[in-house]
Amino acid sequence: MDEFEAFTKGLTSPATKHFAIIPDDNTDLPILPRVIYCQAEGTIVIRDSEGVSLPYTMIAGDRIDFRGLRVMSTGTTGTYYGWS
């Protein structure tokens, strides 16, 4: 039973889906995440909607509240999950 199903999901609502992020230099993420969560320490290279890719160094437990379009395989290390 979902006691919150009658409520509208907003930008500050908790995520309801999660998925493993598979870095790929040529393919956009299948779902734009609300948050990217770091499971295992590393660097994640995220491409935005303008085509700009930047690296972020993360430790396990870190999260980035960013709707990245693509996670690049070149330069990305660690394990990441998307929350949407």
Contacting residues for 63 by C-beta, under 8 A, at least 6 apart: 35, 36, 37, 38, 83
Distance CA 59, CA 27 (A): 25
**Per-residue tokens: 63:** 């999260």
At residue 30 the predicted structure's pLDDT band, cuts being 50, 70 and 90, is very high
Residue 55 in this model has a pLDDT that exceeds 80: yes
Is it the case that residue 41 has pLDDT exceeding 90?
yes
- Categorize the per-residue pLDDT at 12 as very low, low, confident or very high, splitting at 50, 70 and 90: confident
- Mean pLDDT calculated for residue range 16-45: 96
Kindly state the tokens that stand for 47: 């491409």
Sequence letter at residue 28: D
Backbone phi, psi, residue 44, to 5°: -115, 135
82 with 19: CB under 8 angstroms? yes
Name the residue ranges covered by the structural domains of the chain: 34-83
**Residue 4 in this model has a pLDDT that exceeds 90:** no
| Position 46 pLDDT exceeds 90 | yes
User: What is the pLDDT averaged over residues 45-69?
Assistant: 97
Picking from 34, 33, 53, 52, the residue whose alpha carbon sits closest to that of residue 44 is 53
